[in-house]
Chain A
Amino acid sequence: MSGVRLRVDRVACDGRGFCAEVAPELIRLDDWGFPIIEQGVISGHREADAHDAVELCPKLALWLEEADRTGPSQ
Chain B
Amino acid sequence: MTPTTAHRLPPRSRGGRDNGGGAVARLLPDDPGTGPGLGDHLARHGDLPSDLESNRWRESLTGEIERSGLFGRGGAAFPTVRKLRAVISQPGLAVVIANGTEGEPASQKDRALLARAPHLALDGAALAAKLVDANEAIVVVHRDVRGAVDRAVDERRRARLDKTRLRVVTAADRFVAGEASAVVNWVAQRRPLPLAKRTRLAECGFGGRPTLVQNVETLANLALIARHGATWFRTQGTSEEPGTMLITVLGAVERPGVFEIEIGKPVADILAEAGELTSPPQALLVGGYFGQWLPGEPSLPLPFSARGLGIGLGAGLVFALPTGSCGVAETAHLTRFLASESAGQCGPCVFGLPAIAEQLENLASGHVTRMEDLKRWLVEIEGRGACSHPDGVARLVKSALKVFARELVEHQRGWCTGADQQPILPTVHGATL
* Nearest B residue (CB) for A15: B347
Q: Given B195, B196, B355, B384, which contacts A34 in the complex, CB threshold below 8 Å?
A: B384
A33 to B377, CA, bound (A): 13
Q: Given A7, A10, A72, which contacts B348 in the complex, CB threshold below 8 Å?
A: A10
Question: Does B272 reach chain A (CB closer than 8 Å)?
Answer: no
Q: Are the CB atoms of B197 and A34 closer together than 8 Å?
A: no
Interface size class of chain A, counting residues whose CB lies under 8 Å from the partner chain: 20 to 34
Q: Are the CB atoms of A14 and B347 closer together than 8 Å?
A: yes
Q: Are the CB atoms of B197 and A72 closer together than 8 Å?
A: yes
Question: Does A68 reach chain B (CB closer than 8 Å)?
Answer: no
Question: Does A12 reach chain B (CB closer than 8 Å)?
Answer: yes
Residues of A within 8 A of B351 (CB): 31-32, 34
Which of B348, B352, B380 counts the most A-chain CB atoms under 10 A from its CB? B348
Q: Are the CB atoms of A34 and B199 closer together than 8 Å?
A: no
Given contacts A10-B385, A30-B352, contact A71 B347 (CB under 8 A): no
Chain A proximity of B355: nearest CB distance (Å): 7
Majority DSSP secondary structure for residues of B touching A: loop
Given contacts A15-B347, A30-B352, A74-B196, contact A36 B384 (CB under 8 A): yes
Q: Are the CB atoms of A72 and B345 closer together than 8 Å?
A: no
Question: Does B17 reach chain A (CB closer than 8 Å)?
Answer: no
Q: Are the CB atoms of B377 and A11 closer together than 8 Å?
A: no
Chain B proximity of A20: nearest CB distance (Å): 13
Given contacts A30-B348, A32-B347, A32-B351, contact A10 B386 (CB under 8 A): yes
Q: Can you list, as one digit per residue, whether each of A27-40 has a CB less than 8 Å from chain B (1) or not (0)?
A: 00011111010010
Which of B196, B345, B351, B385 counts the most A-chain CB atoms under 10 A from its CB? B196
Q: Are the CB atoms of A74 and B380 closer together than 8 Å?
A: no
Q: Are the CB atoms of A13 and B380 closer together than 8 Å?
A: no
* Nearest A residue (CB) for B193: A11
Residues of B within 8 A of A36 (CB): 380, 384
Q: Given B200, B349, B386, which contacts A71 in the complex, CB threshold below 8 Å?
A: B200
Q: Are the CB atoms of A74 and B386 closer together than 8 Å?
A: yes
Q: Are the CB atoms of A74 and B197 closer together than 8 Å?
A: yes
A19 to B305, CA, bound (A): 43
A71 to B373, CA, bound (A): 32
Question: Does B198 reach chain A (CB closer than 8 Å)?
Answer: yes
* Nearest B residue (CB) for A34: B347
Chain A proximity of B393: nearest CB distance (Å): 15
A20 to B11, CA, bound (A): 66
Residues of B within 8 A of A73 (CB): 383
Q: Are the CB atoms of A11 and B386 closer together than 8 Å?
A: yes
Q: Are the CB atoms of B345 and A10 closer together than 8 Å?
A: yes
A25 to B98, CA, bound (A): 44
Residues of A within 8 A of B199 (CB): 71-72
Question: Does B77 reach chain A (CB closer than 8 Å)?
Answer: no
Residues of B197-219 contacting chain A, CB below 8 A: 197-200
Chain B proximity of A56: nearest CB distance (Å): 18
Residues of A within 8 A of B197 (CB): 72, 74
Question: Does B346 reach chain A (CB closer than 8 Å)?
Answer: yes
Residues of A within 8 A of B196 (CB): 9-12, 74
Residues of A within 8 A of B198 (CB): 7, 9, 63, 72, 74
* Beyond A31-B351, A32-B348, 13 extra complex contacts between A and B, CB < 8 Å: A10-B347, A10-B384, A10-B386, A11-B346, A13-B347, A15-B347, A30-B347, A30-B348, A30-B352, A30-B380, A30-B381, A74-B197, A74-B198
Pull 7 A–B residue pairs with CB atoms less than 8 Å apart, ordered by A.
Answer: A10-B196, A10-B385, A34-B346, A71-B200, A73-B383, A74-B196, A74-B198
